[in-house]
Amino acid sequence: MGAQLRIYRRRIRSVKATKKITKAMELISASRIVKAQQRVNASSPYARELTHAVTAVASVSSTSHPLTTESAKPIRAAVLIITADRGMAGAYSNAAIKEGDQLISLLKERGLSVKPYLVGRKAVSFYKFRNREIANSWTGFSDNPTYANAKEISDSLINAFIADAQTDLNGVDELHIVYTEFKSMLTQLPLAKRMLPLEVVESEAPAGFLPSYEFEPSPEVVLDSLLPKYIEARVYNALLQSAASEHAARRRAMKSATDNADELIKGLTRLANAARQAEITQEISEIVGGADALASSNAGSE
């Protein structure tokens, strides 16, 4: 019985050590969520207004621009999937990958071939394990992205979109993005959106009217300047949204792990107490039995 008690106590120490780790990770994620949410709130107005401005230029411009004109016969699409570099975030990365798979299936049903662009080690590992094609990948900054990271990703995507998909195997006709939108500390939703060709329906102006703009030197030149920045802003905002969602998912997962550790410790403590009580009872029984045997032997000798 003493061996069983030692096993329970060893398991309790092990669970307590794990609980310290999960509790620490929960506190770290909780502290980082606030900063990540502030960055999302700071970048969203810029991305929204830039989208309105680009939409306004595209609406009044009569010139076909490569970033706003849909291909008559699209043959290839690029899908940017944003996941985490590290685990212990629940179903955060799996949900984004699943949303990406659903989007890829829809694109293939339209007869398009798909070139995946991946952010985060989780997506890269998922695709490599299944021997899937990867057009390009970026890792190491999923929980704290910078604008430089967004620009690097955007340059690669824009170069692929500008290239002629009919003659260049690296060229694409459409550009889609899959990321996790941060709604609240408890709610994060994986989303799939098309970035290029530009969809004019994204405008949020009241009654469907766009603000009146004057373009210098011309709408075409303004588009050439604004559209790359538009893609960079959209990608950067998606990276920030995903980072905030990652921290929230990890905090929730670590809190659940800490609560489960508490319950496991309580259960093991009850078992250890029962084993200890059984050991004490057995020792008492042995003492009483020994005393009775000694008394009986003394009485017989007399």
Q: What is the pLDDT of residues 243-298, one digit of tens each?
A: 999 999 999 999 999 999 999 999 999 988 888 888 888 888 888 877 777 777 77
Give me the CATH number covering residue 200: 3.40.1380.10
Instruction: Tell me if residue 177 falls in helix, strand or coil.
Output: strand
Please state, as a whole number, how many other Cβ atoms lie within 10 Å of the Cβ of residue 128.
13
Q: What is the rounded CA–CA span in Å between residue 85 and residue 96?
A: 13
Please state, as a whole number, how many other Cβ atoms lie within 10 Å of the Cβ of residue 30.
17
Does 95 map to a domain?
Answer: yes
Does 248 map to a domain?
Answer: yes
Strands 188-196 and 113-119, bridge-based pairing? unpaired
The residue type of 233 is: A
Mean pLDDT: which of 85-94, 157-166, 290-299 is highest? 85-94
How much is the pLDDT for 204?
Answer: 46
Eight-state DSSP code of residue 206:
G
Does 50 map to a domain?
Answer: yes
Please state, as a whole number, how many other Cβ atoms lie within 10 Å of the Cβ of residue 57.
25
Q: What are phi and psi of 138, to 5 degrees?
A: -140, 135
Burial of 156 (C-beta count, 10 Å sphere; 0-12/13-18/19+) = middle
Phi-psi region of 131 (alpha: psi -120 to 50; beta: other; left: phi over 0): left
Does 300 map to a domain?
Answer: no
How much is the pLDDT for 85?
Answer: 93
Domain count, the chain: 1
Looking at the chain, the whole-number percentage of residues with pLDDT higher than 70 is 88
Strands 174-182 and 188-196, bridge-based pairing? antiparallel
* Domain, as residue range, for 120: 39-255
Polymer length of the chain: 302
Does 263 map to a domain?
Answer: no
Higher pLDDT, 48 or 211: 48
Q: What is the pLDDT of residues 9-28, one digit of tens each?
A: 899 999 999 999 999 998 98
Does 210 map to a domain?
Answer: yes
Average pLDDT, the chain: 84
Does 142 map to a domain?
Answer: yes
Looking at the chain, the whole-number percentage of residues with pLDDT higher than 90 is 44
pLDDT-based confidence at residue 97 (cuts at 50, 70, 90):
very high
Does 24 map to a domain?
Answer: no
Cβ atoms 145, 40 nearer than 8 A? no
Phi-psi region of 90 (alpha: psi -120 to 50; beta: other; left: phi over 0): left
Which residue, 242, 53, 29, is CA-closest to 150?
A: 242
How much is the pLDDT for 128?
Answer: 94
The residue type of 212 is: S
Cβ atoms 191, 203 nearer than 8 A? no
Please state the pTM of the whole predicted model: 0.82
Which residue, 224, 236, 247, is CA-closest to 27?
A: 247
Q: What is the pLDDT of residues 49-78, one digit of tens each?
A: 777 777 777 666 555 666 677 777 889 999
Q: What is the pLDDT of residues 161-185, one digit of tens each?
A: 888 777 778 889 899 999 999 988 8
What's the distance, CA 197 to chain centroid? 26
Instruction: Identify the weakest region by mean pLDDT among 31-40, 141-150, 206-215.
Output: 206-215
